[in-house]
A and B are shown apart, each in its own frame.
Chain A
């Protein structure tokens, strides 16, 4: 199954060449400079991280090469020689995410919880709902970035009880995607490694995903946080949160905060 995730050899060897198209290169320089300036103007960890991301974007724009794209195995320079007729997410397109978490339960319990897809919105913050249609098919509705909702039907394409579940979106879905989750028991009571691999073609193309990333919608981060939430939910019965707790911000500042959220 790994081989399906790997790109064609040409694009793999593209370290010195370009994998970012010209419109994106231009945008990268503009956004990157802004982010770097913003980041450097703040002395916090987030600021330093932002400055780093910003600098990376400028380099990406200037050079036409993006290490992030390369690491994910994708490119926004059009390629013509791929046969894309029969897969949810054609090779070399979309976003690929792989994240693992250890959960202190036997694989059976985690598998059973996960296999009931209607449980997924309990820990996946961007999922609105999943409705199980029959043994193989389900209907997924998301809360997309910046309020852009999406929905699709998915079918299970591969399944080994207590070991793995693989699924993909069916035909003309708004967000073409495919995913799998793998459960591997560790020795000596060290729980179960739960690995999720996702590939998807986000609305707005690859740049859409990059832009979303800048606004805190980084898909790898998202999957990682969702897995963290799954671990918390299964190990403790709740997901750690401080939402709604008091603080001493004056009323006006709070209002400004809420306004900023609405505008976003």
Chain B
């Protein structure tokens, strides 16, 4: 079959590889009908996530049709249409049972690698380095899905792929980020990053009762979508002197009640701290550029919440922890517990409350993946979200 494989920094190729097979009794094989490139994939593309190996198959946002099930999968049959959440979860451990799915104990064969780095490790992820399990991803014609009795969600006929694909990651991730803010009536929610995660966080903030949503980015097309599709007030961080001053003014001197960092470790910036990160990241002393995170911590009102769906991988310098402490902030973060939200969000799509396909800008074939990784990374050609048909 064809698959998008990682060969090194900014080197992804479409290769012919053997088809996946059932390895464990709860596995299923899915024939992929639609898959997407995620902002998280860009961290792999740019070489910031350790323990990738040449030839690894990428992709964690995918959906398709069941073509084979293992002996222990009783609730799915060949021909079922499913979306597959990006964290691979067992559904039986303490974390899964407590709705902390992305912290699952039982799916990462290389858990010791994450443990060496983070103390304890969570769920394995598709196509996201060996420290996260080394599972082959779904930017391919076929993919093996572990614990298929738990993870995939059946999609009713009549809902097109493009409307439901983002239930695999970015829609639940945005929702998770907004839910982590514990939004109260009257709350102002500021979202750094108008990428797919940020846009869904904005939509979700409205769903959860925000009274205002402010979006921060610099890419015109993305800011336009935030304004028009997500009803946000937009701040261009390259056009203003200081994002802090602007946000403070916009909120009557209080600061936003909730701040969401939907940028992650590859933030852009033009202040001293951003330059400092850039140098260190290039020298591989620091993995992460945390400009947006620092700004969110600095701008958040006293007693507010900073929710961090943006991915960080390693160590970060110059985090204003004094500000977080001094203002009594609540910090919430992590890989999204997709399985916790996916059914309720599917119901919203079925009720026509939201059509997640609004942010798709590029519809291409799997063969176009190498070019599309670059286009998406460089935010060229007004690219916001790429979907690929094998």
Contact = CB atoms under 8 A, between A and B. Distances in A.
Nearest to B72: A237
B17 A240 contact: no
A243 interface: yes
Contacts of B109: 239-242
Interface string A231-251: 110011111111111111110
A23 interface: no
Interface stretch (B53-61, B186-194, B221-229, B266-274): B53-61
A34 B20 CA distance: 38
22 contacts: A43-B50, A45-B50, A104-B94, A104-B97, A235-B90, A237-B26, A237-B72, A238-B24, A238-B25, A238-B26, A240-B133, A242-B135, A245-B21, A245-B23, A245-B136, A247-B57, A248-B7, A248-B15, A249-B55, A250-B55, A253-B54, A253-B55
Contacts of A191: 94
B13 interface: yes
B56 A248 contact: yes
A44 interface: yes
Interface string A209-242: 0000000000001001100100110011111111
Contacts of A235: 90, 92-93, 105-106
Nearest to A248: B5
Interface string A31-49: 0000000000001111001
Interface in B286-341: none
Summarize B's interface: helix, strand, loop or mixed.
Answer: loop
Interface in B89-117: 90, 92-94, 97, 105-109, 111-113, 116-117
Contact of A236 (B92, B112, B144): B92
Nearest to B144: A245
A225 B21 contact: no
B3 A248 contact: yes
B18 A246 contact: yes
A16 to B, nearest CB: 30
Interface in A180-231: 190-191, 221, 224-225, 228, 231
B46 interface: no
Given A104-B94, A237-B72, A242-B136, A45 B23 contact: no
Interface residues of B, number: 48
Given A224-B112, A246-B57, A44 B50 contact: yes
Interface of B: 1, 3, 5, 7, 13, 15, 17-21, 23-26, 50-51, 53-57, 72, 90, 92-94, 97, 105-109, 111-113, 116-117, 124, 131, 133-136, 144, 146-147, 284
Interface of A: 43-46, 49, 102, 104, 190-191, 221, 224-225, 228, 231-232, 235-250, 253
Given A45-B50, A235-B106, A249-B55, A241 B24 contact: yes
Contacts of A247: 5, 17, 53, 55-57, 136
Pairs A-B, 7 closest by C-beta atoms: A248-B5, A249-B55, A248-B15, A248-B55, A247-B55, A246-B17, A238-B24
A250 to B, nearest CB: 8
B20 A245 contact: yes
Summarize A's interface: helix, strand, loop or mixed.
Answer: loop
Given A237-B25, A240-B107, A245 B50 contact: no
A236 B106 contact: yes
A243 B146 CA distance: 13
Contact of A240 (B19, B136, B146): B146
Contacts of B56: 247-248
Given A235-B92, A242-B23, A244-B21, A45 B133 contact: no
Contacts of B146: 240
A231 B108 CA distance: 12
A3 B377 CA distance: 60
Contacts of B15: 248
Contact of A242 (B55, B90, B106, B134): B134
A236 B147 contact: yes
A101 B131 CA distance: 20
A252 to B, nearest CB: 12
Q: Which of B24, B117, B144 has the most CB of A within 10 A?
A: B24
Given A242-B136, A248-B57, A253-B54, 9 more contacts: A45-B113, A45-B131, A102-B94, A236-B93, A240-B133, A241-B23, A245-B21, A246-B20, A248-B5
B26 A236 contact: yes
Given A228-B111, A242-B23, A246-B57, A45 B116 contact: yes
Nearest to B14: A248
A102 B170 CA distance: 32
A248 B127 CA distance: 12
A231 B136 CA distance: 24
Contacts of A232: 90, 106
Contact of A221 (B18, B90, B97, B112): B112
A43 B134 CA distance: 18
Contacts of A44: 50-51
A180 B116 CA distance: 26
A249 to B, nearest CB: 4
A155 B191 CA distance: 64
A3 B266 CA distance: 53
Contacts of B21: 244-245
A46 B111 CA distance: 13
Nearest to A221: B112
B123 to A, nearest CB: 10
